[in-house]
């Protein structure tokens, strides 16, 4: 972080602006909005500055800048069009340890002024540290569109209502739940939008007696790795959670998006190497929910596809705990999309089957005969350790040894690797791979070369048979 964002209280605090033109005027406006006591020093003043001076909103000093003007000032803004003067102001301010901003010159400034989205008392400040002002502006425009105008009013009445909530709901985390529920309440937003503040306050009052103490569990699919493949709902729940139980497959970039104060608990497991047993995980979900906490069970991909989501829900039903399920993008969808392999295609595959290489001990055998019919796509989850069996069985049951196969390692992440070859080479192809790997077997894989993400600038030629594509 090059700069520490802080919000300074300037009410009745003396500040200096050097320069009397339209840029100085803009800065004066901002300082006045924050209630600062503003002095402007310049040889000539913009007419609006003169007006403000006459109205005694600001003090005008018609003189050249001298260092004495910095005495007792909290901060100074140099807004002249003369580089030397701006530099002089910056140097003197630094000597006296007065915060200084030279307009449009971050290298001369000890503080910079961010782009602002003002929904006072909610204020959002955006800065690119002077490196990409246009990007910062675009972000600001997005936020302007995103944050409703009534947000300020919502924050104000919430501020007035805080003491009441504190008096009624003693427990801190229950209080937080109350506010989360309230702010997520569409009816409240509606009332404020229509300017019906009285009714909004009534709603806040009546919500105080609702049961906020009940915990619940959300089974959330986190997608295959790329954090931008999270659903909006997943993100929302992750940001409201008290406790998050996550799998090994959930990437650290995704965990970074969880509410900072939430407890993060790893119940990671790899095929055959159970760190926290499934029954202990089920138990923990129940325990946390019974404590009245909002629990998010975050799983790689989708919870209902080789995610044991069903087993966890059964436990919750038994314990009478409220739950919801948020679907995620499963590895088959994510990996195939990022590798340019359509799972079905009118010319190559009329069906797609998802199977797992890892089965319960003494589990049912796969129906190799059915899986070996051509013109269907087979997606194998957790298949790497079973490569040999898969290769042998499919060929023995009639699938052509030349059937194209793809191994997608760490799919959709920045380290995605795609290895492509033939069914007869499956074991060989997977030899060097570690980490989550998805197998796609079938004629559709032949499209990968053509449909892998097109990057004309890289002019990348793909070697064939087997070839390796690194999309990083």
| Shortest Cβ 372–ligand SAH spacing (Å) | 20
Q: Is 225 in the site for ligand SAH (CB under 6 A)?
A: yes
| 247 part of the active site | yes
Q: Interacting stretch for ligand SAH, rule CB under 6 A, among 51-59, 87-95, 140-148, 435-443? A: 435-443
The answer to whether residue 269 is catalytic is: yes
**By CB under 6 A, what part of segment 285-344 binds ligand SAH?**
299-302, 305-307, 330-331, 335
Shortest-Cβ-distance residue relative to ligand SAH: 301
Q: Is 408 in the site for ligand SAH (CB under 6 A)?
A: yes
Q: State which of positions 116-175 bind ligand SAH (CB under 6 A).
A: none
Which position among 226, 242, 247, 302 bears the catalytic label? 247
User: Which CB, 215 or 309, lies closer to ligand SAH?
Assistant: 309
Binding of residue 381 to ligand SAH (CB under 6 A) = yes
Whole-number Å distance between alpha carbons of 163 and 155: 14
Residues in the chain: 472
Q: Considering the complex, state which of residue 340 and residue 436 has its C-beta at the smaller distance from ligand SAH.
A: 436
Tell me whether residue 136 or residue 394 sits nearer to ligand SAH (CB atom): 394
Pick 20 or 357: Cβ nearer ligand SAH: 357
* Binding residue for ligand SAH, selected from 382, 418, 440, 448, defined by CB under 6 A: 382
Question: Is residue 436 a contact residue for ligand SAH (CB under 6 A)?
Answer: yes
Tokens (6 digits) for 108: 């001369």
Q: Supply the minimum distance, in Å, between the C-beta of residue 83 and ligand SAH.
A: 53
Binding site for ligand SAH (CB under 6 A): 224-225, 249, 299-302, 305-307, 330-331, 335, 381-382, 408, 410-412, 436-438
**Catalytic residue positions?**
247, 269
């Amino acid at each position: 972080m090059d700069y520490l964002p802080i919000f300074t209280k300037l009410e009745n605090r003396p500040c200096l602006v050097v320069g009397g033109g339209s840029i100085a005027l803009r800065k004066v406006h901002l300082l006045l909005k924050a209630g600062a006591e503003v002095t402007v020093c310049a040889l000539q003043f913009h007419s609006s500055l003169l007006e403000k001076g006459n109205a005694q909103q600001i003090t005008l000093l018609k003189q050249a800048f001298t260092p004495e003007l910095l005495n007792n000032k909290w901060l100074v803004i140099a807004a002249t069009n003369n580089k030397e003067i701006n530099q002089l102001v910056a140097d003197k301010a630094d000597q006296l340890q007065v915060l200084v901003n030279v307009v449009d010159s971050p290298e001369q400034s000890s503080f910079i002024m961010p782009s602002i989205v003002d929904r006072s008392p909610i204020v959002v400040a955006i800065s690119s540290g002077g490196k990409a002002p246009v990007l910062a502006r675009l972000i600001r425009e997005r936020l302007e569109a995103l944050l409703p105008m009534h947000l300020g009013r919502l924050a104000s009445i919430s501020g007035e209502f805080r003491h009441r909530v504190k008096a009624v709901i003693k427990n801190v985390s229950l209080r937080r739940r109350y506010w989360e529920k309230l702010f997520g309440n569409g009816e409240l937003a509606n009332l404020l939008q229509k300017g019906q503040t009285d009714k909004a306050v009534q709603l806040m009052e009546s919500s105080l007696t609702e049961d906020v103490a009940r915990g619940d569990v959300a089974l959330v699919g986190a997608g295959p790795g790329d954090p931008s493949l999270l659903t909006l709902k997943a993100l929302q729940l992750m940001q409201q959670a008290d406790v998050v139980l996550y799998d090994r497959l959930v990437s650290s970039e995704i965990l970074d998006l969880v509410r900072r104060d939430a407890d993060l608990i790893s119940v990671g497991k790899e095929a055959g190497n159970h760190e926290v047993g499934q029954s202990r995980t089920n138990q923990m979900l129940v325990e946390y929910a019974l404590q009245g906490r909002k629990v998010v069970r975050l799983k790689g991909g989708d919870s209902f596809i080789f995610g044991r989501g069903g087993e966890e829900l059964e436990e919750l039903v038994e314990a009478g705990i409220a739950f919801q399920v948020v679907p995620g993008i499963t590895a088959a969808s994510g990996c195939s999309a990022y590798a340019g392999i359509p799972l079905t295609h009118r010319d190559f595959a009329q069906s797609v089957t998802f199977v797992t290489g890892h089965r319960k001990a003494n589990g049912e055998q796969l129906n190799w005969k059915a899986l070996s019919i051509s013109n269907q796509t087979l997606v194998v989850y957790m298949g790497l350790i079973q490569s040999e069996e898969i290769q042998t069985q499919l060929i023995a049951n009639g699938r052509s040894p030349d059937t194209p196969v793809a191994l997608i390692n760490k799919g959709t992440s920045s380290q995605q690797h795609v290895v492509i070859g033939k069914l007869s080479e499956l074991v060989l192809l997977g030899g060097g791979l570690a980490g989550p790997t998805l197998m796609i077997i079938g004629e559709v894989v032949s499209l990968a070369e053509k449909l892998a993400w097109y990057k004309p600038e890289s002019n990348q030629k793909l070697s064939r048979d087997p070839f390796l594509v690194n999309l990083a």
